[in-house]
Amino acid sequence: MKKSISIVFLIFLMLFTAVLGGFFALTWANALPVKEKTVAEPLKSPQSENSVNEVSVVDIGKNLSKSVVGISNLKGITATSPNNSQGETGIGSGVILDSRGYIVTNFHVISGGEQIMVTLSDGNVKEAKIIGTDQRTDLALLKIEGENYEAAVLGNSDDLSVGETAIAIGNPGGLDFAGSVTMGIISGLNRPLITEEGLRFKLIQTDAAINPGNSGGALANDKGEVVAINTIKISETGFEGMGFAIPSNLVSEIVTELMDTGKVTRAALGVYLTASVNPEFNAINNVGVDHGVLISPQEGGPGALGGLEENDVITAVDGNKIHDIYELQDVIFSHEVGDVIKITVMRNGDSRSLSVTLGELKDS
């Protein structure tokens, strides 16, 4: 009997302990902070990512298009023969850079015209005055009467990176397609453009569609800032999506000078740049140095007056080594007219130093 009671008591004790333990365990669990269940966000599809970009491009197109104008280059009407038919010798785009009506466009858009007409984004047409031009960089500054125009914001073209968004706005094919917006990327930076005079300027390359009529229009970044002015595209068979634009920092520099003086002044050394010197050139011609620029001074020019002679090789300017023609051009253009520079030359196997006062580069 005692044994039976002990077994019953033991079973009762085990059940009581289990219930009591469960109660405390449940109470303890409820006292702990509850961690919310996290659900992984679905990956964004390419379509949803494009939708985000489209919203940005829509806003940029809507806002920046107010600052992009159509440029018509007219020729043929004169005061003595007003009944003559009016011919359109060029058509392109322009960008309002100042609320007072200053507009930048390409030189080739307005070249040779007798009357320049500007069509604003709201359809109003105004005659423009040419403030100044710079054929070497293919830029021109115009002005229309009035004020409080919607001016674009120039960005810093030195901050651009290959692969970032590029948005072109202009009038491809004429005013019937005014305000066209195309999108691509920045395909390359510092692309060299060699002018007919042999001068080099560096452009921005893009695959955003640039067609005839886009010249002078805006190339913007994803902030809506104008980072370049469209100027040219390669349209030869076999090439696709290779357009070029003038960097905004160069545009700002040229436009500021045109606004202030009506022209662009560049320093000149007054020499013909015959050839870039490298080890191969030296091996053949034995000029005594493996770098520099072989020159021929212009008669009566700054270089000749400073002592430069035929077949001198300029090897350094102000102590900085010169490697080729374009590097020498860049150094000279970085100076002002009237600056005195120290030039190191190799002449008949001997190195010597000369001081030259820079003159002004004249139009060809």
User: Which one is predicted more confidently, 292 or 363?
Assistant: 292
In this model, does residue 19 exceed pLDDT 60? no
Close Cβ partners of 177 (under 8 Å, ≥ 6 residues apart): 171, 213
d(CA 82, CA 256): 36
**Hey, what are 293's tokens?**
């620029």
Close Cβ partners of 35 (under 8 Å, ≥ 6 residues apart): none
d(CA 139, CA 141): 7
Phi, psi dihedral angles at 263 (to 5 degrees): -155, 170
**Hey, what are 108's tokens?**
């080739």
For residue 240, name the pLDDT band (cuts at 50, 70, 90): low
Exactly one of 138, 157, 207, 248 is catalytic; which is it? 138
Exactly one of 72, 187, 215, 248 is catalytic; which is it? 215
Secondary structure (3-state) at 169: strand
**Residue 122 annotated as catalytic:** no
Range of lowest pLDDT (30-34, 91-95, 187-191, 215-219):
30-34
Exactly one of 72, 108, 180, 248 is catalytic; which is it? 108
User: Given this model, what pLDDT does residue 112 score?
Assistant: 87
**Residue 180 annotated as catalytic:** no
Q: Please state the rounded mean pLDDT for residues 287-296.
A: 95
**Residue 72 annotated as catalytic:** no
User: Given this model, what pLDDT does residue 124 score?
Assistant: 93
For residue 221, name the pLDDT band (cuts at 50, 70, 90): very high
User: Given this model, what pLDDT does residue 274 score?
Assistant: 93
Mean pLDDT of the residues in the chain: 82
In single-letter form, the type of residue at position 263 comes to: K
Question: Which helix (H) or strand (E) element contains residue 323?
Answer: none
- Cα separation values, 312 from 276, 280, 289, 302, 320, Å: 12, 18, 11, 15, 17
Nearest to 184 by CA among 242, 141, 143, 144: 242
d(CA 161, CA 168): 17
User: Which one is predicted more confidently, 134 or 201?
Assistant: 134
